[in-house]
Structure 1
Amino acid sequence: MHCDVYKFPKHDEMYVYIARPDYPDDTEALKDWLGVLPKELRQSLGEGKFVMHLDLAETLKLARVDKQEVLDKLSTQGYFVQTPPQDVLKRQAELRAREAQDKKYD
Structure 2
Amino acid sequence: MLCAVYKTHKKEGMYLYVPKKGHFDDVPEALMARFGKPELVTIIALEKRERLGGVDKQKLIEALSTQGFYLQMPPKEDNLLEQHRESLGLSKTPDKKF
Q: Same fold (TM over 0.5)?
A: yes
Q: TM-score, normalised by structure 1?
A: 0.69
Query: Which residue of structure 2 aligns with residue 54 of structure 1?
Result: 44
**Kindly tell me: are residues 57 and 65 of structure 1, through their superposed partners in 2, closer, same or farther at Cα, counting changes over 3 Å?**
same
1:6 is matched by which residue type in structure 2?
Answer: Y
CA–CA separation in structure 2 for the residues paired with 1:7 and 1:38: 16
Q: Looking at both structures, which has the greater relative contact order when contacts are Cα pairs under 8 Å and sequence separation is at least 6?
A: 1
Shift of 1:32: 4.1
Shift of 1:19: 1.0
CA–CA separation in structure 2 for the residues paired with 1:38 and 1:47: 14
Q: TM-score, normalised by structure 2?
A: 0.74
Shift of 1:50: 0.3
Query: Which residue of structure 2 aligns with residue 80 of structure 1?
Result: 70
Query: Which residue of structure 1 aligns with residue 25 of structure 2?
Result: 35
Query: Which residue of structure 2 aligns with residue 16 of structure 1?
Result: 16
| Structure with greater Cα Rg | 2
1:65 is matched by which residue type in structure 2?
Answer: V
The count of aligned residue pairs is 79
1:57 is matched by which residue type in structure 2?
Answer: E
CA RMSD of aligned residues (A): 1.7
Q: Where does structure 1 differ by over 4 angstroms across 4 or more consecutive aligned residues?
A: none
* Bigger share in helix: 1
Query: Which residue of structure 2 aligns with residue 99 of structure 1?
Result: none
